[in-house]
Structure 1
């Protein structure tokens, strides 16, 4: 299991570590033995003092930060809560988009269809995403677009629901894309590519990057 850290470590110091979480791996364990395996449980097996700071969806890959001290955990977690971090994702979405834009519409949990989330204009919790086209191309004969996604808020499933709302679901999304669009990729084409936050001790602004695997 120690190979997991060797293969996926991006950065570590006394207070925190940054890893590349692969697609298909839970950030934290779910309920039951079948969902025990996760980035957190793997890291705790290697570093028993590993502490949770934030999460990525199971099928989203990319940058994930864990605390190694209580101080580091609380300081960085507060930056996430206060929207003082800067997060950049890349995605491949169905269809051809051009230009850039902003989606400003609340995303809420749908209790009638768990684990789905939906847009709800009557909800008072905002969800804000900026998007920008990187390139248009063909994927096995299907028109797709690579986009840069910058979430300002951090609602669950926000990027996935917002792109569906825009009419361009993320390719390979088993929750929000059409059955056909799900087949265009063996994985969800959503990746946490860049993360910036202040070092908990020095205040230095740090930026970490993780190459996009699709």
Structure 2
């Protein structure tokens, strides 16, 4: 199917970005759907998590990103040392990430794992595609929370962190995420029902284990 046209960027206001935690090293914020993680190309895409936090705290440095349409927990560093430490945790896969998602269909079991390599789709950007020959390894673990008639509430844990990994992996096994305009050909409207609900990592300075939680606004 052709890539649908990108909707106009209408970012939520700064007050829609909830601050879950802030100290001298980093900030954890709860990003609303529809807000970029970092500024995009062009002045009309300047509003983002990073710019909102920089305006408020004076310094905000990128560590990881959530898709525009995804809501939930995002971590931003306040200085270079914290940025380096936290980025290494993400790169070393010692950060535990959990997402809530509503997907189409009846799940075949209570839990499972998707191991399908992901590559760029140069003819259909910004989509990614399953590429068994030259794609990068990608692994997603999932567990069933609630099964309704034709919708399931899943907990998702990405082991790797490829672009669009959760969206593409779920669509590839026949259970696209509700509201996914890129990977569900039947999607016509509604928000993407994908929310970063838990982050576990260690404090970049003290080494203390940390856990942050956020509740998705969608539910069955």
Q: Distance in 2 between matches of 1:104 and 1:182?
A: 28
Cα separation, 2, equivalents of 1:92 and 1:78: 31
In the alignment, what sits opposite 2:125? 114
Normalised by the length of structure 2, the TM-score is: 0.89
Secondary structure of 1:45's aligned partner:
helix
Counterparts of 2:51 and 2:124, CA distance in 1: 28
- Partner Cα distance (2:41, 2:17) in 1: 27
Structure 1 segments, 4+ long, off by >4 Å, are none
Corresponding pairs, count: 205
Q: Mind listing any 5+ residue stretches in structure 1 that lack a counterpart?
A: none
Which residue does 2:174 correspond to in 1? Answer: 167
Partner of 2:196: 192
Compared CA separation, residues 196 and 129, structure 1 to 2 (3 A): same
List per-residue Cα deviations over 1:119-160 (Å, max 9, x = no partner): 11112521000011110125xxxx100001000000000000
Larger mean CA deviation between 191-200 and 94-103 belongs to 94-103
The answer to whether 1:19 aligns with 2:29 is: yes
Kindly report the root-mean-square deviation, in angstroms, between the aligned alpha carbons of the 2 structures. 1.4
- Give the drift of 1:7: 5.4
* Structure 2 alignment gaps of length 5 or more: 1-12
Aligned to 2:217: 213
Distance in 2 separating the partners of 1:134 and 1:122: 34
SS state at 1:162 partner: helix
Alignment partner for residue 100 of structure 1, among 91, 111, 122?
111
CA distance in 2, matches of 1:85, 1:7: 22
Q: Please state how far the C-alpha of 1:79 moved relative to its aligned partner.
A: 0.3
SS of the equivalent of 1:74 reads: helix
